[in-house]
Structure 1
Amino acid sequence: MPLTYHNQLSLLQDILTNHLDDCCGTVAECEQVERLVKSLMVNQDVQQAAKPLLEEIYRYGQEGKYTKGLEQHIHTNRQSLENWVEDMNTYF
């Protein structure tokens, strides 16, 4: 059974919150972030104003997938993670 729009948002926010709180993550989580954002970008329920936010999160996931130092990548993006999680509450 596919994830609903709200399930996708919740999962994306959970992953980003875990990265923020734990300051660590996995390549698989970064790949999941990419898949979730791609799916949300084509969803008609997503506000147009949220698309730049989703694009930033997509880049974060993509960069995290290819970095050799994922923990450093997460640490470097802590402020962005905090902003994204907060902004997601606004848009969604």
Structure 2
Amino acid sequence: MPINHEHQLALLADILSNQQTDCCGSVAECEQIERLITSLRSNEQIDQNILPILEEVHRYSEQGVTASNLDTHIHSHQNQLSQWVDGINNLS
């Protein structure tokens, strides 16, 4: 059974929050982020104001998949991760 967009946004915020807190993550998490965002972009029920955040997170995730050191990539985006999580929580 597919999850609705509220659950997708909560899952996205959880993954990003964990990466921000732990300063580490996996390529699989980045790929999951990309799948969530692809699904959310096609959902007309989401608040359109969240789309810029989703675009930024998608770029971050794409870069994470190909980063030579994912933990360094995550560490260098600590401020953005916090802002994205706050934005997602406020707009969802």
TM-score w.r.t. structure 1 length? Answer: 0.96
1:60-84 Cα offsets, whole Å, 9 max, x none, are 1110011110000000000000000
Query: What number of residue pairs does the alignment pair up?
Result: 92
Extract unaligned runs of 5+ from structure 1: none
Backbone CA RMSD of aligned residues: 0.7
Q: 2:86 — aligned with what? A: 86
1:18-48 Cα offsets, whole Å, 9 max, x none, are 0000000000000000000111111111122
Structure with more relative contact order (C-alpha pairs < 8 Å, separation 6 or more): 2
Runs of 4 or more, structure 1, over 6 Å off, are none
Extract unaligned runs of 5+ from structure 2: none
Q: Secondary structure at the match of 1:53?
A: helix
Sequence identity (%)? 46
Letter in 2 for 1:17: S
Letter in 1 for 2:74: I
TM-score w.r.t. structure 2 length? Answer: 0.96
Q: Secondary structure at the match of 1:43?
A: coil
Alpha-carbon distance in 1 for matches of 2:85, 2:49: 15
Q: How does 1:21-60 map to 2 (within 5 A)?
A: 21-60=21-60
